[in-house]
Amino acid sequence: MGKLFSIGEVLIDFIPLQKGVPLKDVVSFERAPGGAPANVAAAVAKYGQKSAMISKLGKDAFGDFLVEKLVEAGVEIDKVYRTDEANTALAFVSLKENGERDFSFYRNPSADLLMSEEEIDPAWFQAGDILHFCSVDLVESPMTGAQESHRSSNGSGWTGFI
C-alpha cells in the first residue's frame, strides 16, 4: 500500500463529563483530538501503515495540542499548515439518552477551511497513494477547491478512496 493522505478537518472535540444530558445542560467537558480525516490518518498509522495529514490549524494552543497528538499517533505532519487568520476548529459533542449525538461546531470559518489550492503540491502523491476526505470539507470554502483541483494530476484519478 502507498501512503494514505487524509485531507480536512483536525479539530478539538469537547466531550461532556455528564452522559445522557442535552448539550445545553452540560456543565463540564473534556478535550479530545478529533476530526474524521485526522481519526482515519491516526488509525492507519496505528496499524503500521504510512499516513499524512493535509490541513491547516490556527496558531493557538488547540493547534499545538493537535499537532502533538498527530505526532504521537505516528501521522506525518509536514503538510499541516498553521495560520493566524482563523482559530482551530472546535466541536462540542454530547450523547443523548437515546444514543444520538448532539453537535455544536465552532468553525466560522476555522483554520482548516482556509486551506487553499495553492498550498497543495501534486508532487506529494505517488502511484498507489490514497486520498481520504470527508463531506464536511465539501462545504463552500477554499478547502473544497484544494481537494477538487488535485484529485487527478495525471487524468486517471487517485488510486482509491476510503
Question: What pTM was computed for the model?
Answer: 0.82
pLDDT digits (tens, 9 = 90+) for 7-40: 999 999 999 998 888 888 889 999 999 999 999 9
> For 67-89, what is each residue's pLDDT tens digit?
999 999 999 999 999 999 999 99
Residue 144 pLDDT level (bands cut at 50, 70, 90): low
**Over the stretch 92-142, which tens digit does the pLDDT of each residue have?**
988 777 878 888 899 888 999 999 889 999 999 999 999 998 865 565 555
Give pLDDT, residue 154: 40
> Class assignment of domain 4-149?
alpha beta
What band does 158 get if pLDDT is binned at 50, 70 and 90?
very low
Give me 122's grid cell. 501534486
What does the domain layout of the chain look like in residue ranges? 4-149
**Distance between CA atoms of residues 13 and 126, nearest Å:** 32
Length of the chain in terms of residues written: 162
What is the rounded distance in angstroms from the CA atom of residue 90 to the CA atom of residue 31?
A: 10
Burial class, 122, CB count within 10 angstroms (exposed 0-12 / middle 13-18 / buried 19+): exposed
pLDDT attached to residue 161: 37
Cα–Cα distance measured from residue 97 to residue 157, given in angstroms and rounded to the nearest whole number:
43
